[in-house]
Structure 1
């Protein structure tokens, strides 16, 4: 078999070569495309159509990066000091402290590396779900394939909204404009044509080529793929780019700020503690210096949750994966933060609030009304006139003209695959194909008309027209669009087999028919035509460019169809849930105001008194008037993309966080301007998906509400593990500080033979961090919903993750943890506040150490909510239970196993010791339960007072 020439490396320049010669060089028939087998062979030869990824960071560098934190470096310096002191003292035995600290640091680094890797893998998996797709011609049929599977020789079928998947040579174009700003920087869309270029020109002037990464902004076209992957012009640019560093998200910045703040505070406390120890206990030996230094540094490291960035990334990535399983694909982790703060959802109607199974149910012509039964894309149903089967006659003829013309001025395709009827293209256009078959039309009848030219649909014009040549040579212009707009271009009317003047009475009746359909919640499309002998000679070449909007005059009005897109059954309860969560739902649609208002009432967006504000009214408003309108109006109809952008800006000016849905090219500005741009995954264009922050895989509004709930749950879980980590860290710091200050009062100085009396050793503090931080914190990151997050208003974008109330709770709980830890030690020591103890200081310190670990593990359950009881959903999180049980077992091991006793300076405990430790640790739980009960009672009293005041 012949091998196609590789145009990316050969001397042949596709821009300066006729399209037919390019097709021959690539061994492809533009009318049938490649076969599936040949496409697979070329894919294996050329490789995936994707840009080369940046080189990954080596494992050893990622591991070393775990030690780059200044506090970790400080601790390593302390290790060096410990080893030096050990050498000075004669190097007797092993430097246990140094060995244990290094071991813990290495283990923490490995855990951090694993967490980062999990986050990266999760994001990579999401990237696969959002990959671009292209429409190609293979085996003579249109197919939608991932753009990564495009190969040289593929026939690209381009339409408005498509993202161009590869470099390609045009062989057909109809009013084709391509936005190439991503490649050339040119802000205006460039008009494209298939005519060969004779000389070598810059990329921006190659009008007969389209390039990977650009977007079709208007028109249609066909092109032969000439280069893929790194052989494309975009690939050439990619080779010159350095890897860009992703900026931290606002939440990551806040966590980083929190770490620095805690670092400054705790380093100050550590210095105070070290100075206090030196003043109270005195420094006698080099070992004392090392002990004090290790303790101070360990306190600083313990109080700053250095694992926060890695835990945060993992929690966000896992949350985004859960959202993806619910058909909400978030493209950036940072968007999760904003999603949970959404206070307004601006949504389109078609396909989002409705099923997008567009069905023509009614045809209204000059002779009457035809009703069509059957829903969806299967061409099965009855045509009736007042309940009776539609008979031959004027009404049937008019209906056939409407559906036949609508099927021709149409870019959709209807086909049956494995017994299921599927469409390719716009659902509204496909409805004509389905309805025509219900009325007895066939593909053979429409095949007798060949399209020779077109004026594509645009949201500004609200209509499209095509020129067709019948197999007998006759030419006809067909138009389809918004009925009220189309009627302005009509001067005649189809009445049975006759064409009559469209006088004022007939025009008024046609307008009344349109209004009646709209009031009944139908989407309406008008159809018109006219014979066009003046187009004689128009073909598929240069003459086709002469066919423009001037041909849309003196049309024959054929009739109007009523298209029903029923609401999705799950949308109404989803809207009710959103409203209960303080989220306002705003419908923005291009449909008729009456249609929009009817659907909005059915779904509960507005009440019976609510109205739809038409785009024409928005045109007459200045920015202040529009801001006044968006405060009360929740339905906007007959809007243009420019209106959408103004509405979003006006809502944001009111201080609202706006989520905006869209599917078309012209929606991209509004999607980018919104706080959360949401593109439709099924019907959305590639340009819309590129501009959006999130893609709905099922085009379902209810999925947005599920995503908002998940976003709120994720942020709640972040607050949970922040609260939990700071509870424990504050407890550790206060335990050491208060233990040193009140050592004499607690009986520590009399019981210890050491030169310096410390309630916790440096190695024990690091062990607490290891046991009580990573495992439970990660488990809380996937905690199920405890408090109903959809019963409270949205969080403000600038609200702090750790607010004043949380800081108060952290301070109180940290103080309680430190008090019960120190009192546990006092229980077992002679003297002090609680007399009767007989144990050594090593045993008492081990008991305090164990109480502190147990208290931290118990607080994992309390940290799950700021106000709800820890026993609510007590067994809901099996991962948290696993982390807590593992923590208990590790603590038993560090206290009971001789090698670990040596490493962490612990002593064996008997049954009484363990029971006292567990009981004292539980005090933290009960104190926190009482505090939460007080908060709930106070909140209820305030709510009752507010209700009474109303």
Structure 2
């Protein structure tokens, strides 16, 4: 449906000159807003955030805790208990019903608190990965959270940026924007600063950029005209309903386990209850009620109701802990994948190296100059190096070499969008680190002030991964209009016809090409990155065209017949911790591949220094990758670990080849073109410092420090988190299995252990429903959570990666769960038999009543589960190994012991939980019987270790 030309259309920002829009908003495009004015506008207009549904009130989230099948079961138990109380004469208070209701409420409170903790942890991670935008404030470029953008802000846009708000373009240089998230158009849209007609469709408003879109190429500046809900994306957001988050594979498996347990226990409960009713001498209402209470008790015993909440909290706390170590995992689900990473494909620059780009050498037609000093602080000298021994001569630059070095360094600084700044004597670069290296070297040379006075930018041809070069056009007060280019030397020389020698342009002969090629190979062999600089003075016709077409036009056709000025060698030394991290990855069975756009010799040298590959090992180039079919590529990635001169599309092919071989792949990236490969990888890793907003959006994990060692630490942390999940699963499942087998065994073996004959109905339970609820409340919360933050008791990096097909709860774990559960049931029922007369064990202490014997059995089961916390910390490692490293575990056990003693000895709790006081002999037997679970599992682990 066509858009009508209304008054609103005619006054819309896209239909008016950019100058008019800026004037209306009282913003100087060259200066931007002041910080004070931006703060005032932010307070008036509110944050730049999309409208969303109001948060669910706390009371509704609390009520939601009761929306669970298990809770419905417990509520049924309350009703059944109340009916039993009425049938028994309604004497006193309905203690069982009150206690079950209290425990259900307390469980809901715990679930509510745990859910809030998980939500807070995820919110903290979202804060760490929030989008940022570059704006002008008082004439300086600053990076601010996109949520703080205000109407009137001047956006500075570059390749890879995520557009933070709707804005009217003021200028654009070869600017292309991906708007598929808004318009559905897959191809990037070319943008200009020219106004379009009133009523133009959204997809055709070429002078506008919109929130949620991304810059694919080029640069530009724009003035913000709408934020938050007033943006086009905000209008769409208001029409969308919230999408339910899908369950992770881990959550699905745990759900299936709970479902399976539920089905098993229902079958057991039905069989037991049916058998009891069939064997009962008379089927009175009281008999039926007690039989149903047994069924409810079995259901309560079997289902680990706290498991989903504990899982969410453990994942959230683990991921938050990873964020403190500079690895910001955007989704909790990614922890599952991190633990199984088998290949890490890493960039070189900034990830394996320090990202402190420093020009060390300058090669021109006249010779070689050495630049001293490391880092962004402009301290050092530029001097000739006639002997090429790496140490500068004492004589200063002079003659043709001085002229050529000045052109190279000043030209490279001229063809730059970076800015060098200092705060408290700490120098930093805003923009590309390589461009910053030219600014620093130029300052060392002492010519930076002259460049700023002499040149004014008129246009540019942006860098792209395909072209491997960029150019700027400047008005020169001495020579008119010039073009300055920089890029990969081999690519740049193809655009050159001349070379600068002693202040003049001469023919670029094969001999001089060989001179440069020799030096480039030498520098690359010493792990220096090489970059060439060239220029040309435009003729009058070309200059007129630039002035006529403006900065937004495409001038790539002018990158011809250039004058080669020289080549710089830039060092980016390996991070000191990178070699150790590579060795740790190899020890963990994880392959490390270096994938870089640098020269093959540079890549091979750095890879050898870091231990990624042997010295002299094969380096696969992008050109080779292009020529390979899928079979050849598969063979290459199985063998080679170093890839150089690689384009983004090659990364995608490498990912697919590795995944086809069954690997779980981590891929790093920072540029906008890396985003597809990051999405294709199992673990996409974006650079937090140098990475574009687009790659951060596409990635699974963001490195806050751009450090390879952080990836390896994250893999180790992911393995530890996964191990901890298995620990509390092992603990919860075995503990609940012990409860099920205790109740089931107590009924089946009632005549053997002396339980029969203690009730007129003939239905006697080894534990009452409130006691089982108490066990779950005391042991399923604190100790399980403490195991979720347990330090490693095993060498998690000393074993190969986990296969994605491996189940969380495998056959070996189920075997251990059944064994421990059986031992718990044996200890509990044996304790009951010891203190209850008429059973299998007749000793002097078998003179207690049912309540006392049941209390001893109840306490034995609680203590057995507390002993089981040490068992569950590993499938094979002894419980006595690293026993005291987890203060939270010891604290939760101590609290559980105190609470259990209170339940046994405090009078009003005795009434609530049907307990009686125990003397010293009882306590000694209880502790001894409960400890059986520890000793039996130690024997099992010893046998497993003996088998290797």
RMSD: 1.6
Out of 545-554 and 873-882, give the one that drifted further. 545-554
State the distance in 1 between where 2:630 and 2:340 align: 25
* Secondary structure of 1:613 counterpart: strand
Q: Note the C-alpha offset of 1:785.
A: 1.1
Q: Note the C-alpha offset of 1:832.
A: 2.5
Q: Note the C-alpha offset of 1:118.
A: 0.7
State the distance in 2 between where 1:241 and 1:67 align: 28
Specify the alignment match of 1:615 in structure 2.
622
Q: Note the C-alpha offset of 1:54.
A: 2.1
Specify the alignment match of 1:4 in structure 2.
none
State the distance in 2 between where 1:55 and 1:112 align: 22
Specify the alignment match of 1:924 in structure 2.
933
Q: Is the 8 A contact 1:864 1:870 kept in 2?
A: yes
State the distance in 2 between where 1:215 and 1:751 align: 76
Q: Note the C-alpha offset of 1:432.
A: 0.5
Specify the alignment match of 1:873 in structure 2.
882
Q: Note the C-alpha offset of 1:190.
A: 0.3
Q: Is the 8 A contact 1:328 1:697 kept in 2?
A: yes
Specify the alignment match of 1:135 in structure 2.
134
After TM superposition, list the pairs within 5 Å mapping 1:474-493 onto structure 2: 474-493=480-499
State the distance in 2 between where 1:687 and 1:571 align: 26
Q: Note the C-alpha offset of 1:276.
A: 3.4
Specify the alignment match of 2:3 in structure 1.
none
Gaps of 5+ in 2: 1-6, 386-391
State the distance in 1 between where 2:551 and 2:932 align: 85
Q: Is the 8 A contact 1:829 1:839 kept in 2?
A: yes
Q: Is the 8 A contact 1:452 1:538 kept in 2?
A: no
Aligned residue pairs, count: 932
Specify the alignment match of 1:883 in structure 2.
892
Distance change >3 Å, CA 444–CA 31, structure 1 → 2: farther
After TM superposition, list the pairs within 5 Å mapping 1:94-243 onto structure 2: 94-243=93-242
Q: Note the C-alpha offset of 1:353.
A: 0.5
Q: Note the C-alpha offset of 1:87.
A: 2.8
Q: Is the 8 A contact 2:171 2:551 kept in 1?
A: no
State the distance in 2 between where 1:543 and 1:852 align: 82
2:866 matches 1:861: no
Specify the alignment match of 1:778 in structure 2.
785
Q: Is the 8 A contact 1:752 1:841 kept in 2?
A: no
Distance change >3 Å, CA 224–CA 841, structure 1 → 2: same
2:564 matches 1:557: yes
State the distance in 1 between where 2:425 and 2:32 align: 25
Q: Note the C-alpha offset of 1:11.
A: 7.7
State the distance in 1 between where 2:20 and 2:364 align: 49
State the distance in 1 between where 2:49 and 2:150 align: 11
2:535 matches 1:520: no
After TM superposition, list the pairs within 5 Å mapping 1:544-943 onto structure 2: 544-545=551-552, 547-749=554-756, 755-836=762-843, 837-939=846-948
State the distance in 2 between where 1:416 and 1:762 align: 69
2:456 matches 1:455: no
Q: Note the C-alpha offset of 1:274.
A: 1.7
Specify the alignment match of 1:299 in structure 2.
298
Out of 661-670 and 63-72, give the one that drifted further. 63-72
Q: Note the C-alpha offset of 1:737.
A: 1.3
Distance change >3 Å, CA 905–CA 555, structure 1 → 2: same
Q: Note the C-alpha offset of 1:874.
A: 1.1
State the distance in 1 between where 2:282 and 2:507 align: 110
State the distance in 1 between where 2:552 and 2:10 align: 32
* Secondary structure of 1:892 counterpart: helix
Q: Note the C-alpha offset of 1:586.
A: 0.6
Out of 661-670 and 743-752, give the one that drifted further. 743-752
After TM superposition, list the pairs within 5 Å mapping 1:460-479 onto structure 2: 460-472=466-478, 474-479=480-485
Distance change >3 Å, CA 293–CA 447, structure 1 → 2: farther
CA-to-aligned-CA distance 1:799-834 (integer Å, 9 cap, x gap) = 111000000000111111111111111111234222
CA-to-aligned-CA distance 1:684-724 (integer Å, 9 cap, x gap) = 00000000011100000111111111111111110000000
CA-to-aligned-CA distance 1:735-784 (integer Å, 9 cap, x gap) = 11112212222222256676322211111111111111111111111111
Q: Note the C-alpha offset of 1:544.
A: 4.1
* Secondary structure of 1:292 counterpart: helix
The counterpart of 1:495, out of the listed 480, 501, 520, is 501
Q: Is the 8 A contact 1:751 1:830 kept in 2?
A: no
Specify the alignment match of 1:317 in structure 2.
316
* Secondary structure of 1:457 counterpart: coil
Q: Is the 8 A contact 1:281 1:757 kept in 2?
A: no
Q: Note the C-alpha offset of 1:200.
A: 1.2
After TM superposition, list the pairs within 5 Å mapping 1:330-479 onto structure 2: 330-386=329-385, 387-389=392-394, 390-472=396-478, 474-479=480-485
Specify the alignment match of 2:4 in structure 1.
none
Distance change >3 Å, CA 59–CA 540, structure 1 → 2: farther
CA-to-aligned-CA distance 1:511-558 (integer Å, 9 cap, x gap) = 222111111111000111111123222456634455522111111111
Q: Normalising by structure 2, report the TM-score.
A: 0.96
CA-to-aligned-CA distance 1:148-191 (integer Å, 9 cap, x gap) = 11111111111101111111110100000000011111100000
* Secondary structure of 1:536 counterpart: helix
2:513 matches 1:507: yes
Specify the alignment match of 1:531 in structure 2.
537
Specify the alignment match of 1:946 in structure 2.
none
Specify the alignment match of 2:61 in structure 1.
62
State the distance in 2 between where 1:583 and 1:546 align: 48
State the distance in 2 between where 1:541 and 1:634 align: 50
* Secondary structure of 1:563 counterpart: strand
State the distance in 2 between where 1:771 and 1:683 align: 48
Q: Normalising by structure 1, report the TM-score.
A: 0.96
State the distance in 1 between where 2:649 and 2:547 align: 34
Distance change >3 Å, CA 547–CA 233, structure 1 → 2: closer
Q: Note the C-alpha offset of 1:57.
A: 1.8
Distance change >3 Å, CA 10–CA 622, structure 1 → 2: closer
Q: Is the 8 A contact 1:101 1:763 kept in 2?
A: yes
State the distance in 1 between where 2:758 and 2:89 align: 28
State the distance in 2 between where 1:393 and 1:483 align: 24
Specify the alignment match of 1:268 in structure 2.
267
* Secondary structure of 1:423 counterpart: strand
State the distance in 2 between where 1:486 and 1:925 align: 72
Distance change >3 Å, CA 514–CA 709, structure 1 → 2: same
State the distance in 2 between where 1:78 and 1:283 align: 23
2:80 matches 1:81: yes
State the distance in 2 between where 1:501 and 1:473 align: 20
Out of 387-396 and 192-201, give the one that drifted further. 387-396
Q: Is the 8 A contact 2:52 2:237 kept in 1?
A: no
State the distance in 2 between where 1:109 and 1:283 align: 39
Q: Note the C-alpha offset of 1:73.
A: 1.0
State the distance in 2 between where 1:9 and 1:755 align: 85
* Secondary structure of 2:917 counterpart: coil
Out of 282-291 and 655-664, give the one that drifted further. 282-291
Out of 379-388 and 870-879, give the one that drifted further. 379-388
State the distance in 2 between where 1:9 and 1:229 align: 20
Q: Is the 8 A contact 2:300 2:772 kept in 1?
A: no
Q: Note the C-alpha offset of 1:439.
A: 1.4
Q: Note the C-alpha offset of 1:278.
A: 3.0
Out of 877-886 and 676-685, give the one that drifted further. 877-886
State the distance in 2 between where 1:444 and 1:300 align: 83
